Structure 1
Amino acid sequence: MFMGIDVGTSAVKALLMDDTSAIVAEADIALSLSNPRPYWSEQNPSDWWDATLQAIDLIMRENAGALAKVRAIGLSGQMHGAVILGADDTPLRPAILWNDGRAKTECDELEAALPGLPHRAGVVAMPGMTAPKITWLQKHEPDIFAAIRTIMLPKDYIRLCLCGEKATEMSDAAGTLWLDEENRAWNDDAIAATGLRRNQVPDLFEGSDPTGTLRHELAERWGMDKNVVIAGGGGDAATGGIGAGAVTHGAGFISLGTSSQLFVASDRYRPKPELLLHSFAHAIPDRWFQMAVLLNGASCLAWVAKILGENNIGELLTRTEAQHKKPSDLMFLPYLSGERTPHNDPYARGVFFGLGTNTNREHMVQAVLEGVAFALADAQSCLHAAGTYCELPGVIGGGARSLYWTQMIADIMGTPLARYKGGAKGPAFGAARLARLSVRDGSIEEVCTPPAIEDILKPDQNRHEQYQPRMAKFRRLYDALAAEFQDRPAS
């Protein structure tokens, strides 16, 4: 038996996986997000740990026998978050998250100081990355910066709590801007450029490596063996890839979670920072991936449902589909948290364009779904410009549950999409697979197989052609507003 824990933005998820890759039990504990100022996004690391304890306690109450058989635990988590630890290894402030936009100036300064950084780090400097946040801290919170003992990533803070070890692995370190992606080693020049020393970042492992064993008191709490291994794990993009079997060259997926990604695995390092792609180390040895990253995904649907007072998203989607006759006359820019690919614009924001007296809530929801799909098509064009293609991406994440939305995405992108049997298992499942690899129970090829396909959604050519003028308008609308987004409220 193996456990996967995913420290997401909206929830911590824990699951148990048996030796056949079947999920035996799972639990989710919701998290809250703090936005204390415009463009800021933070969470308290202690909330992640409390949620982790609650999730495993829930599994124990109904699956104590299975939990007792766990041999290893794998970790996954939201990438880029800066967890700032002091001398006693407790957080000095809330963690600054992946969708935080405060450090744009610091990105420009880092690239000016290290002109070769994007090609070594696999991506241009963006505010969501870890490194510019630390430079921001040095300027704006100098007392906290001076007290830093260690910088950790979200899932690695949970590792520290589970086993007392300070470690990270390649795929999560990839999102810091401090990793030399091709050589899978820390880039000392990049670390120094943010005012840190090498001993202030954790040691590096592969995601399938063991990094420690579960603390004795936690093993007793959950009735587990005292030698349970804690695997390296991975950033949520990479563990999503492990769960979806995207480990061979050209295999890929689309994630429709809080944010969205188009992920394609690669057999070598292929940096294309000029296209605003992320070229990162994978969570297994000698593999990399290219990724187009969107800061907004299914979170846009949750947002519009909330502001419309709709508590049942499934029923809302059913009503929206029933009235959907053609592409919406309403346009939605889905940049609620800014955007990375293809704009690198932390200040972009959501926009409804074309509201009229006949606009109803279903029209608004259709426009939101289409807006996310247009953004995915925009991101796909960047991958294609880099010469990167995926023949049949799978769709994972909460949005994958909607056949209506995934078919719309296929129609707009002009790309066939696969949905998996039993639903999309996501990063926690990939983390459990890395746990299995950490105890050498099978090879990468044996463990990281693609899930069985439930259905293949082929794009409807007529609908694809109908959407092309709307796609062009979507792009023109952002271009027309880009300068206006820069006129932002003071933070």
Structure 2
Amino acid sequence: MLYIGIDLGTSAVKLLLMDGKGKVHNTVSKEYPLYFPCKGWSEQKPEDWYTQMMAGMEELVENCKKEDIAGISFGGQMHGLVVLDEHDKVIRPAILWNDGRSDKETDYLNKVIGKERLSQYTGNIAFAGFTAPKILWLKEKEPENFARISKIMLPKDYLAYCLSGVHCTDYSDASGMLLLDVKNKCWSKEMMKICGINENQLPKLYESYDVVGTLKLDVAQNLGLSSNVKVIAGAGDNAAAAVGTGTVGEGMCNISLGTSGTVFISSNTFGVDENNGLHSFAHADGYYHLMGCMLSAASCNKWWMDEILKTKEYAKEQNNIVKLGENKVFYLPYLMGERSPHNDPKARATFTGMTMDTTREEMTQAVLEGVAYGLRDSLEVARSLGIIIQRTKICGGGAKSTLWKKIIANVMNLSVDVIESEEGPGYGGAILAAVGCGEFSSVKEASDKLIKIIDTVEPEQDLVEKYEEGYQKFRKIYPTMKELFRTITE
């Protein structure tokens, strides 16, 4: 049988066709615009997502045996606010994960409601990207639109609704709304009251591998597919990507070096760190995960190469970097503020330690190392909970760099496993579809059978010791600069 995975990203929807043995038969990508109506705002039109998804699906299945397609599932950008009226029409453009308009509402939740209460209600504290602050913003700034809300949805779930007619979400994606009691996997009555909404306005909750329905007849006819094709709930992009890299089961770890960076640690039990430095979310395998998210990872290197060095020769710029662990230059990777573990939108990127003999290579090396150190900040929070991590998978554009993988291995003191096929959330979505259709008995079984490791970068003891010394210096820079950042960003 064949399974479709749909990755609803911020710049494009990427569709993937996979068989039951994990082989990818076809991929299609369709772009759509981003809108920035005001400084710091970021929006998209859900209708654009649907139009491009349907166009992509037509291409994806054009040359396959359509009768073999059994299921469709999703990985998608998290936290976005999609609101529908009583006729299930989109009320306004979706407010996205990287939208910064809700600072005031985030402060209200963290400081007035209080982080301790938020953590009790949801297992998390408020971040500007989360959905609940956006709802509060809409309530205050656009009360006429707020009054029309019949359903609140997340981006990928709007697509699932368009395909199946079911208002649904999964626990992993719902975890990032600040409306879900993550530990008990139910909507938080306290958070609904705080936001002025009711449970009827929220979608039904499912596990990521649950079947929510089948293709609506008109959609099936348009695509030339059977109306018996199952629609499976899917997952938030990070949880879906974790499934696609085999990061399933107790203590499994995945590091993503994408535009943003994540440390994703799967767990069979629910846990929260003392300061809520990491997100405590449900995982797509039916259990839980901790996640540290830094807002600028591979984008730091892209900025340094494209805007400062004015070059596209990324690999060439790394060729002469040989003195690992000996760099005297440090880089704070906070180009867009920072999320985990500092939760500080006013944090900024800095270079520290340059002298008259500092070289171009040392500056480039500092950027790569700064991102690795920033990711280690999140790893240390997980370790403080007693979680033992000895190895990690790695994915994302930055993972193509042999040098960066070596730096990660030694900064983290972890074995870094490289997988055979890194297709991101779309592959994870297809795996969830296969599980939902009964191809595998569990997400863990699917992951164990389909994900293959082709290389491992091992840490080297002498470099681990040098980078340990470097990390202890790095971790002192942000606390020293924190108050200054507040004055220079006002």
Q: TM-score, normalised by structure 1?
A: 0.91
Cα separation, partners in 2 of 1:374 and 1:347, compared to 1, 3 Å: same
1:463 aligns with 2:463: yes
Of 435, 440, 443, the match for 1:442: 440
Q: Is the 8 A contact 1:122 1:273 kept in 2?
A: no
Do the aligned partners of residues 82 and 372 (structure 1) sit closer, same or farther apart at CA in structure 2, a change above 3 Å counting? Answer: same
Q: How many angstroms does 1:104 deviate by?
A: 3.3
Match of 1:213?
A: 214
Alignment partner of 1:384: what SS? Answer: helix
Matched, 1:394 2:393: yes
Q: Secondary structure at the match of 1:410?
A: helix
Contact 1:258–1:297 under 8 Å retained in 2 = yes
Equivalent AA in structure 2 for residue 51 of structure 1: Q
Query: Does the 8 Å contact 2:125/2:276 carry over to 1?
Result: no
Decide whether aligned partners of structure 1 residues 15 and 482 sit closer, same or farther in structure 2, where only a CA change above 3 A counts: same
More moved, 89-98 vs 376-385: 89-98
Cα offsets for 1:180-221 (capped at 9, x unmatched): 112211112111211111111111111111112223333233
Note the C-alpha offset of 1:73: 0.4
Q: Which moved more, 1:218-227 or 1:368-377?
A: 218-227
Letter in 2 for 1:80: H
Q: Write the deviation string for residues 8-31 of structure 1: whole angstroms up to 9, x where unpaired.
A: 223321101101111111122345
Q: Work out the CA distance in 1 between the residues paired with 2:58 and 2:309.
A: 33
Matched AA of 1:319: E
Contact 1:5/1:13, CA 8 A, preserved across alignment: yes
Are residues 1:139 and 2:123 paired? no
1:268-279 superposed matches below 5 A: 268-272=269-273, 274-279=275-280
Looking at structure 2, the residues matched to 74 and 144 of structure 1 have their Cα atoms a distance apart, in angstroms, of: 30
Q: What residue is the counterpart of 2:472 in the other structure? A: 472
Q: 1:121-162: per-residue Cα shift (whole Å, max 9, x none)?
A: 122222111111111222223232222222111111111222
User: What one-letter code is carried by the residue in structure 2 that aligns with 1:267?
Assistant: N
For 2:311 and 2:73, how far apart are their aligned partners in 1?
33
Deviation at 1:90, TM superposition (A): 3.4
**2:453 counterpart residue number:** 453
8 Å contact kept, 2:10–2:77: yes
Distance in 1 (CA, whole Å) between partners of 2:266 and 2:447 is 13
SS state at 2:64 partner: helix
Q: Distance in 2 between matches of 1:42 and 1:291?
A: 25
The answer as to whether partners of 1:80 and 1:176 remain within 8 angstroms in 2 is yes
| Alignment: residue pair count | 484
Root mean square deviation, CA, Å: 2.5
Q: CA deviation at 1:165?
A: 1.9
- CA offsets, 1:233-270, max 9 Å, x none? 01112112222222221122112222222112111211
The residue number in structure 2 matching 1:201 is 202
**1:349-402, Cα deviation, whole Å (9 max, x unpaired):** 333445677777655443322221111111111111111232221112222222
Tell me whether 85-94 or 206-215 shows the greater mean CA deviation.
Answer: 85-94
Greater mean deviation of Cα atoms: 211-220 or 177-186: 211-220
**Contact 1:39 1:347 (8 Å CA) reproduced:** no
Q: How does 1:49-448 map to 2 (within 5 A)?
A: 49-61=50-62, 64-111=63-110, 112-113=112-113, 115-272=116-273, 274-285=275-286, 287-308=287-308, 312=312, 315-326=313-324, 327-353=326-352, 363-422=362-421, 424-444=422-442, 445-448=444-447
Distance 2:385 2:126 in 1: 19
Matched to 1:103, the amino acid is S
**Distance between the aligned counterparts of 1:85 and 1:172, measured in 2?**
18
Determine what percentage of the aligned residue pairs are the same residue.
38
The whole-number CA distance in structure 1 between the counterparts of 2:332 and 2:47 is 34
Specify whether residues 215 and 297 from structure 1 end up closer, same or farther in structure 2 by C-alpha distance, changes over 3 A only.
farther
Q: Would you say the 8 A contact 1:68–1:222 is kept in 2?
A: no
Residue range with higher mean Cα deviation, 464-473 or 172-181:
464-473
Contact 2:253/2:266 (8 A) holds in 1: yes
Aligned residue identity for 1:321: N
Indicate how the Cα distance of structure 1 residues 381 and 305 shifts in structure 2: closer, same or farther if over 3 A, else same.
same
Task: Call closer, same or farther: CA 1:349–1:117 in 2, change over 3 Å.
Answer: same
Q: Which amino acid aligns with 2:302?
A: A
**Unmatched 5+ residue regions in structure 1?**
none
- Corresponding letter in the other structure for 1:429: Y
On the 8 A contact 2:321/2:365 being kept in 1, the answer is no
Equivalent positions of 1:33-44 (< 5 A) are 33-44=34-45
- Paired residue secondary structure (2:391): coil
1:42/1:390 Cα in 2 relative to 1: closer, same or farther (>3 Å)? farther
Alpha-carbon distance in structure 2 between the residues aligned to 1:359 and 1:40: 38
Q: Unaligned 5+ residue runs, structure 2? A: none
